[in-house]
Structure 1
């Protein structure tokens, strides 16, 4: 473990940086001049003075004032010392790969293709801006590689991506060149140093431009710092820590689930095949068993991981408000309790709320001015605990709450489907009757959704689509709109039946692709597939419906019935 990890973090950003540094595994550097060997200390420690050119200067304009360069200062177009770059990253347990520009007539395109292939799965990509032989073509390789990477990310429904460009050109000039080349991705210049994208699938991608006088050590630190800025958040930190934990335990899991277990797994498959009721679906059931087995082992590791626990610890939560205030001094910490008026709290009060453990102390904090609301006949603390709490510190609060709700509820939707996946009508599927604003969730038992040979009745629960500001019970990601919010009432009066024909080969009801939508046909009725709830979510709905059906209703002596209350 490198020595930096031993330093106790002083604030939320430092906590986030340690998590990011542990997560980052691969960095790719592309340059036309790559060398091996150590640089002299005078070169590494020299202070290089660079004068930025006029913003209207061309891409090939010189940025260096010769009189300001010492004899020991490195030329900005000199070699990239791969030995030192990889050693600096190695000190942080990060693997750095380098690619040198191809030569010849097809060299530029070869370099673009190679950069794309090596960077697809990299955590950070570092590109030189001036890699072409012709000064008038500076930036062609970087722009071509970036464009190809962005299209790959859009096609893959988005991912986190950081690209650093280091250059001796004027930073504004490079930013303008990038923006004009990446208009199809809705590129925009932010903070005078980077390109961000309005395109939804690229919301967690950015291109940062830095001056080439940066030393190797500062280049490495800057890359980690910029990565941290992209991931610095509570759940994002927890996600990085969890993935790091899984990576660290990979060989342990391979040791546990070794090839010696093959005979036992085949025995499980044979047991399923031997059952007439399971025979046709034995391989799918065995697959689900294997995945559940692996998932539970990983879940168990994450639940006891000290690093994952630390990412969401009480200490970290207390540091978070300070970080928000540092990022935006005008930010307000606002609570909305149910439908009561909003309450704005100070930084100190916010931190005390997040760390409180004693009931009396908690009540005192709520009663401070401005007081939290109380709904008659409830006290302030009872109102706080009985009503939904919507915390916010920016204008996108509702969307953030809807997004987390959708993540909790949604298993699959049109955004996340793979090219070769056709939705199946089964328990948890959400469908919409075309031509009407009617939505249904399938509650058909899973065993009654397979091995079908003829038209089959499917059972649904009609669910009400509501606006994002109305009471809701479930949220999923939409296509035409960002989110679909539902109020699910499990009463038997909302049960709906419809007949569907199964696919003869699959013996299941499979969706058809029509006008970029997946549909199911029931006679003359057409239903559009909207997504699927996660297993615990739809199982909860099924249980509620079952409980509603199990109710016993009978007439009784009212005096005696009411005595119970």
Structure 2
């Protein structure tokens, strides 16, 4: 890997981080400001009316003048550098002598931390005591863990000599809050996981004026990837365009929204439409900033390949050629793939059959296992709007629970009577049997006893709202198949379940559910262990596994209907083949 290529990739990562980072908060109980002729320790702050957790004013700038010591924080130095980088820096300055309640101090910090990308916190927020800092770190970790991960860089900034004892205690309290981090081998007093970086720095060794640059540089570890850099830059673009987006949604639309909601059936469609319109504005922001061109183009992919060339494998296609770093760079210049392979710029052809194309993924990922792990994650991201046991955030300001709608994926345990062996002749014929008691179709599989069954709700979304009585819901059965599958989902043990959706011989099931009287929808309940479930009117319990994206659900429904709408021979076979260009 050349030095130039490595520099290009690092610059790409840095640009994504700069586009993303907007906010920082500094928490310290010994702030001071260096002026031209004196050092001023800041006294107690007063409420300005804009939220005292983020702002302060000097009551008397001429009081308490003294030389600073190793525990003081030069807030002018640190705020100036953050401002130069385009990062808004807030300060929370607990006062040891103000008589402020401990809970109030903690709450101020947590409120400021909610909206901050970077957090700098003093080790001693109380005189010679780290207990308040450790309590705050634990509660920040708990909040981040409840969000299923929150991108965060934490810096514990201290006048104390650095040591493993302090850093181990920091990591211990983060772990108590649900965030486990592992030491970074090449950076002193630094640990990380996929969403959190924590570092310990000394105020004398790392001056306040140099700390922001180090934090920003460390934050690039979150952008060390093609997709992470794209995601960071995308969020940054939306943040930059937020205020313009708000001008599109003014109070002049209130009356028309209410009117349309009243005269539309179902009225909830108007609410969904407005949400989609706002999402479209976010998409416009990404388009205006050309995020895809800047962060997902072939040129950027080449930088990624060069930067990761040591990890790219060599996968043999046949005796003549293989998929490796050079091949991938060549194929990037080739352009779009055809049915048989790639047309290369030198007028030659690179043949790559469909059953060999997985080798590209295996080469890029550095092995079969890594390839499958990455492809399954990508497949779930594409297919699912939200997952029960994936990376989706399932908690919010309100007590959110899933509702049964089009695209909902459920799992349930078959009743014991359906596990009994069926008639051999019927099973060998591959026929379907009508289960009269539940008026559903049961496909026989005599090869093994079925424990679970997986179902996708195909009831149209508009028929899942404003329900008053027991309502039937229609489901398509998804078959477990580790060799031929079109959907991968995690179950509650975080194991990957491979599902095949059968269009030619579909199995349709119907179950009745009673709606929630208040929302008039079928709502799940949360069981122990953060598992959501539905129960039908017969007491059958269904575990919620996720909700497919609307486009994916519509595609599967269209394929099913298309198969059902097939008609027999209605034309000359000769003319049909001629129309397909066969002659």
TM-score by length of 2: 0.74
Kept after mapping to 1: 8 A contact 2:81/2:212: yes
Identify the residue that residue 93 of structure 1 maps to in structure 2: 86
Contact 2:29 2:96 in 1 (8 A): no
Structure 1 residues 463 and 231: alpha-carbon distance in aligned structure 2, compared to 1, 3 A threshold: same
Q: Secondary structure at the match of 1:166?
A: strand
1-structure distance, mates of 2:381, 2:207: 42
Residue in 2 that maps onto 1:433: 412
Q: 8 Å contact 1:303–1:309 — kept in the other structure?
A: no
Q: What does 1:507-546 align with in structure 2 at a 5 Å threshold? A: 507-515=520-528, 516-546=531-561
CA distance in 2, matches of 1:411, 1:335: 34
Please report how far the alpha carbon of residue 113 of structure 1 lies from its aligned counterpart in structure 2 after TM superposition.
3.7
Inter-CA distance 355–124: structure 2 relative to 1 (3 Å threshold): farther
Q: Which of 411, 417, 433 matches 2:394? A: 417
Match of 2:49 in 1: none
- Using the TM superposition, give the Cα deviation of residue 506 of structure 1 relative to its aligned residue in structure 2, in angstroms: 3.9
Shift of 1:216: 3.2
Aligned residue in 2 for 1:332: 312
**Which position in structure 1 is the counterpart of 2:503?**
490
CA contact (8 A) 2:406 2:457 kept: yes
Contact 1:26 1:95 in 2 (8 A): yes
Structure 1, unaligned runs of 5 or more:
1-7, 41-73, 273-277, 368-378
Q: Where in structure 2 are there 5+ consecutive unaligned residues? A: 38-66, 337-341, 415-450
Could you give the per-residue CA deviations for residues 235-275 of structure 1, whole angstroms, max 9, x where no partner exists? 11111211121122222222222222223323322331xxx
The answer (yes or no) to whether the contact 2:34–2:74 under 8 Å persists in 1 is yes
Pair 230,446 (structure 1): closer, same or farther in 2 beyond 3 Å:
closer
1:118 Cα offset (Å): 1.5
Report Cα offsets for 1:476-504 as digits up to 9, x if no partner. Answer: 34332254332112235322223333344
* Distance change in 2, residues 1:447/1:360 (3 Å): closer
Q: Which among 276, 301, 306 is matched to residue 285 of structure 2?
A: 301
Comparing 180-189 and 435-444, the one that deviates more: 180-189
Please, which of 184, 198, 201 is the counterpart of residue 210 of structure 1?
201
Conserved in 2, the CA contact under 8 Å of 1:413 and 1:532?
A: yes
| Structure 1 segment 297-376 matched on structure 2, within 5 A | 297-325=281-309, 329=310, 331-334=311-314, 343=322, 345-346=324-325, 348-357=326-335, 360-361=343-344
Is 1:194–1:206's contact at 8 Å kept on the other side of the alignment? Answer: no
Conserved 8 A contact 2:488-2:496 = yes
* Count, aligned residues: 491
CA distance in 1, matches of 2:575, 2:302: 54
- Range that drifts further, 475-484 or 251-260: 475-484
Structure 2 counterpart of 1:3: none
Matched residues in 2 for 1:217 and 1:398: separation? Answer: 45
- The 2-side partners of 1:361 and 1:248 are apart by 40
Distance 1:560 1:77 in 2: 89
Q: 2:112 aligns with which of 109, 112, 118?
A: 118
Q: Distance in 2 between matches of 1:485 and 1:100?
A: 53
C-alpha distance 182-22 of structure 1, shift in aligned 2 (>3 A): closer
Q: Deviations over 1:190-215 (max 9, x none)?
A: 32534546xxxx63112112343123
Give the alignment of 1:466-505 within 5 angstroms.
466-467=481-482, 470-505=483-518
Question: What displacement does 1:290 show?
Answer: 0.6
CA-CA distance at 1:459 after TM superposition? 1.7
When normalised by structure 1's length, the TM-score is 0.76
Say if 1:102 and 1:110, in contact at 8 Å, map to a contact too.
no
The structural deviation recorded for 1:340 is 12
Pair 1:380–1:408, CA change in 2 (3 A): closer
Q: Deviations over 1:139-176 (max 9, x none)?
A: 33332221110011112221111101233422433222
* Structure 1 residue 95 displacement after superposition: 0.8
- Match of residue 292 from structure 1: 276
Question: How far 1:125 sits from its partner (Å)?
Answer: 0.4
Distance (Å, rounded) in 1 between the aligned partners of 2:182 and 2:538? 50
Aligned residue number for residue 405 of structure 1:
379
Return the alpha-carbon distance in structure 2 between the equivalents of residues 177 and 129 of structure 1.
11
The equivalent of 1:176 in structure 2 is: 168
1:103 pairs with 75, 96, 103, which one?
96
Tell me by how many angstroms 1:549 deviates. Answer: 0.9
Please give the secondary structure, in 1, of the residue aligned with 2:79: helix
